Amino acid sequence: MAIFKKGINGAFSGTIGSTVGASWRHIHYMRSLPKPSKKPASPQQLAQRARFALAVSFLQPMKWLVNLGFNDRQRGRSTGYNRALQLFITQAITGDYPDYGIDFSKVTVSQGNMDKLVGLSVASDAPNTLSLAWTDLSEGAVDPGEVKGSYDDDRVYVLLYNRTEQLFTTNRSALRGSEGLQLELPPVFAGHEFHAWAFVRHRDGMRQSTSQYAGTVVLAGEPDPGP
């Protein structure tokens, strides 16, 4: 692959013969078309492709969130999504090919040096409601200065994964200082298994914490009225 600033007729995009021209993050580059291989894939190649496919299928629906959580604007030539893929493949995949699984506690959706939420937990104690709770020890809390580099108006981003339906839900309505969040979900999700993650982001939009896995919970439903 070659990177160029100015071609004979400027940058180009598309295919000319066996050459492909494109641009990415304001970088213009050329590469040759790959030659098709007639060799069957090795077991190692099949395993790697399966791991990559699993990572993409899980992270693609929340691509915007991981780009935000990995501060995509400051990653130079790497994207936040690509960094999340690397971490997922190396840390969150369990088992052996072809029976791969996901260790949800190892999934990372953000990375940064801001202080994490203290005592993060998730529960479902009321019908169709998930509750997240934490303790605010930021500089704006009752005991200011206990935790450095965190503020009570840090925005809290929450990611929920309905494993039963394989659906994602995000929420960013809470602040660190609120010390909790209640989310009402559709009654049809009662009895479904949910996984939850959270991270905080500074008001300037340029800093965030590394995400935390809050845990897994089954969504409570309405009590049985009985006969």
Domains of the chain and CATH, by start: 2-32 (no CATH), 43-106 (no CATH), 118-218 (2.60.40.10)
Q: pLDDT by residue (tens digit) across 197-213?
A: 999 999 888 889 999 99
What pTM value is reported for the model? Answer: 0.81
Strand-pairing partners, residue 157, are: 199
Residue 3 pairs in a beta bridge with 29
Judged by average pLDDT, the poorest of 103-107, 110-114, 122-126 is 110-114
Confidence of residue 146 (pLDDT cuts 50, 70, 90): very low
Stretch among 1-10, 74-83, 110-119 having the lowest mean pLDDT: 1-10
How far the first Cα of the chain sits from its last, in Å, is 72
Residue 138 DSSP label:
S
In DSSP terms, which residues pair with 193 in a beta bridge? 218
Whether the Cβ atoms of residue 108 and residue 87 lie closer than 8 Å to each other: yes
Do strands 93-94 and 27-32 pair parallel, antiparallel, or not at all (unpaired)?
Answer: unpaired
Q: What DSSP character marks residue 13?
A: -
How buried is residue 176: exposed, middle or buried, by Cβ count under 10 Å (0-12/13-18/19+)?
A: buried
Q: What is the pLDDT of residues 33-85, one digit of tens each?
A: 666 777 888 999 999 999 999 999 999 999 999 999 998 565 566 789 999 99
